[in-house]
Amino acid sequence: MNSFDLSGKVALVTGTSGGLGQGMAIGLAEAGADIIAVSHSMPTETVQAIEQLGRKAVGIQADLSKEEELPSIFEQALQFRGRIDVLVNNAGIIRRTPAADHGASDWHDVIDLNLNTVFFLSQLAGRHMIERGSGKIISIASMLSYQGGINVPGYTASKHAVAGLTKALANEWAGKGIQVNAIAPGYMVTSNTQQIRDDENRYKDITARIPAGRWGTPEDLKGPVVFLASSASDYLNGHVLNVDGGWLAR
Ligand code: NAD
């Protein structure tokens, strides 16, 4: 089991004030990593939970959708330990409006955070990891990296792109000791899906289609993210790991 051990590793996880990012940050800490938790609101609860595990953590409050601010956020993150071994690109938003009414700001807000930030943050981390000859980059994709979805054209476009970008970066950096992969969660209980869970019929329809018979939780991503962050996955490159209770197998 030593190859799954993250002791001494430093992971930067984005979007950690709740939801999947919080679950993954805690999971990585349980496996031994120290955590830089970046989020729109200060991820105090996440930092406290990690410290209670005996690991070190620092919270950074930042709006990651502002491309021009990413270099200084990354520099701030580097000050924690002087290096970053693992980047988890998790922060993401969704805007649910039919395509015919989808406003420009909805489109741009989603593409800025879900795609542009994933590229530019991966680029910053990639340069740093190339210098060091090792690193892990894990981006959060979606079932809508494969399917079209309903009323979420910008989100679907961004998540298809995340899957493509994962492969593009993996091709360039696999030979430099960096593994770039993605996790595609199925339907998970977080604020991102509150609106569809509030729609009783949609909630029932979706639940009935999940072979596992239930929605996923942030805890369900702990094992997959530890695997992709650890040396257990050193020969895995450009893979999108579906963690979906069987949704896509149906
Ligand atoms: P969530 O809304 O619970 O969490 C989103 C996190 O991103 C929060 O911590 C929030 O503070 C942070 N964030 C939002 N805008 C930000 C910004 N501008 N700058 C910095 N941080 C910002 O949602 P979640 O479900 O945990 O989503 C996490 C990721 O998982 C997203 O990329 C989402 O697209 C993806 N995902 C979620 C599901 C699901 O069913 N919940 C399924 C597939 C993929």
Beta bridge partners of 10: 34
Residue 204 burial class via C-beta count within 10 angstroms: exposed 0-12, middle 13-18, buried 19 and up: exposed
pTM strictly above 0.95: yes
In angstroms, the CA 155 to CA 151 distance is 9
Which ligand 1 atom lies nearest to the CA of residue 91?
7
**Predicted local distance difference test score (pLDDT) of residue 183:** 99
Indicate the top mutation candidate among 145, 146, 192 to test ligand 1's pocket, ranked by most ligand atoms within 8 A of CB: 192
Pocket of ligand 1 (CB under 6 A): 15-21, 39-41, 62-65, 90-93, 113, 140, 142, 185, 187-188, 190-193
Residue 47, H or E segment: helix 44-52
Q: What is the pLDDT of residues 15-64, one digit of tens each?
A: 999 999 999 999 999 999 999 999 999 999 999 999 999 999 999 999 99
Longest dimension (CA), the chain: 52
Q: Give the separation between CA 213 and CA 245, rounded to whole angstroms.
A: 8
Which residue's alpha carbon is at the smallest distance from atom 8 of ligand 1? Answer: 15
Per-residue model confidence (pLDDT) at position 39: 98
Q: Please say if 155 is a catalytic residue.
A: yes
How far is 231 from 179, CA to CA, in rounded Å? 10
**CA–CA separation, 184 and 168 (whole Å):** 17
Catalytic hit among 146, 155, 187, 235: 155
For residues 223 and 250, give the distance between their C-alpha atoms in angstroms, rounded to a whole number.
23
CA distance 224 to 54: 22
